[in-house]
A and B are shown apart, each in its own frame.
Chain A
Amino acid sequence: MSGNVSAIGFFTRTRRAGRIDITDILSWLWLIGGTLAVLVPVLWAGMSSLKPEAEITRFPPTLLPRTAIQVEVQGFDKPLSLWNVTVDGETREMAMVRRIGLKAQMVDPANPGKPVSVDTRTISPVQRLTVATQNYTDPLTRFSFLTFLKNSVFVTFVATLLTLIVNALAAFALSKYRFRGDKAIFVLIISTLMIPLTVVMVPAYLVIVGVGLVDNLWGVIIPTVASPTGVFLLRQYMLTIPDELIEAARVDAASEFRIFWRIVLPLTAPALAVLAIFSVLWRWNDFLWPLIVLSSRENFTLQVGLNAFQGEFSVQWHYILAMTFLSLIPVTLVFLFLQRYITTGIAGTGMK
Chain B
Amino acid sequence: MARAAGLADRALDLVMALFEAPINAIERVIGKGRMPYLFLAPNLVLFGIFTFLPIAIAIGYAFTGGADLLISNRPFVGLDNFRKLLACDSYLVPGSCEESLFWTAIWNTLWFVGFNVAATLLVALVTALILNRAIAARGFFRAMFFYPVLLSPVVIGLIWKWFLDRNGLLNAFLQMLGVPPEIFLLDVGWSRFFVVVVSVWFHMGFYTLILLAGLQAIPKDLYEAAAIDAATPSRTLFRITLPLLGPNLLVVLILLMIRSVQIFDEAWVLTNGGGPGTANTFIVQYIYQMAFAGDLRLYGLASAASVLMGLVLLVLTLVQLRLGKKVES
CA distance A192 to B140 in the complex (A): 35
Known: A45-B159, A195-B51, A347-B210. A339 touches B146 (CB 8 A): yes
* Interface: B87 (CB within 8 A): no
Interface string of B308-329 (1 = CB under 8 A from A): 0110011001000000000000
CB-based contact B158/A321 at 8 Å: yes
CB-based contact A207/B133 at 8 Å: no
CB-based contact A166/B133 at 8 Å: no
CB-based contact B142/A343 at 8 Å: yes
* Interface: A157 (CB within 8 A): no
CB-based contact B158/A320 at 8 Å: yes
* Interface: A101 (CB within 8 A): no
* Interface: B96 (CB within 8 A): no
CA distance A266 to B12 in the complex (A): 10
CB-based contact B167/A44 at 8 Å: no
Known: A201-B306, A202-B58, A339-B146. A172 touches B39 (CB 8 A): yes
CA distance A343 to B229 in the complex (A): 35
* Interface: B93 (CB within 8 A): no
* Interface: B195 (CB within 8 A): no
CB-based contact B234/A5 at 8 Å: yes
Within 8 A of A (CB), among B7-26: 12, 15-16, 19-20, 23-24
CB-based contact A255/B40 at 8 Å: no
CB-based contact B236/A12 at 8 Å: yes
Chain B nearest CB from A57 CB (Å) reads: 5
CA distance A288 to B289 in the complex (A): 12
Most buried by A among B151, B262, B288: B151
Query: When A and B form their complex, what is the total count of cross-chain residue pairs whose Cβ atoms lie within 8 Å?
Result: 315
Interface string of B191-220 (1 = CB under 8 A from A): 000000000010000100110110000001
Residue on B with the closest CB to A223?
B50
Chain A nearest CB from B39 CB (Å) reads: 4
Q: Could you list 20 examples of A-B contacts with CB < 8 Å? A: A10-B133, A11-B237, A27-B133, A31-B141, A34-B127, A34-B144, A44-B163, A61-B167, A173-B40, A188-B47, A195-B55, A203-B56, A204-B54, A226-B50, A256-B32, A257-B24, A285-B154, A310-B269, A343-B143, A352-B149
Given A44-B168, A173-B35, A226-B44, 19 new contacts (CB under 8 A): A10-B133, A12-B241, A24-B135, A31-B135, A38-B145, A59-B172, A60-B172, A166-B46, A189-B43, A194-B314, A195-B51, A199-B58, A200-B310, A202-B302, A202-B306, A203-B61, A261-B15, A287-B152, A287-B154
What is the interface of chain B, defined by CB distance below 8 A to chain A? 12, 15-16, 19-20, 23-24, 27, 32-37, 39-40, 42-44, 46-47, 49-58, 61, 69, 126-127, 129-135, 141-155, 158-163, 165-169, 171-172, 175-176, 181, 201, 206, 209-210, 212-213, 220, 223, 227, 232-234, 236-237, 241, 251, 255, 258, 262, 264-265, 269, 284, 287-288, 291-292, 299, 302-303, 306-307, 309-310, 313-314, 317
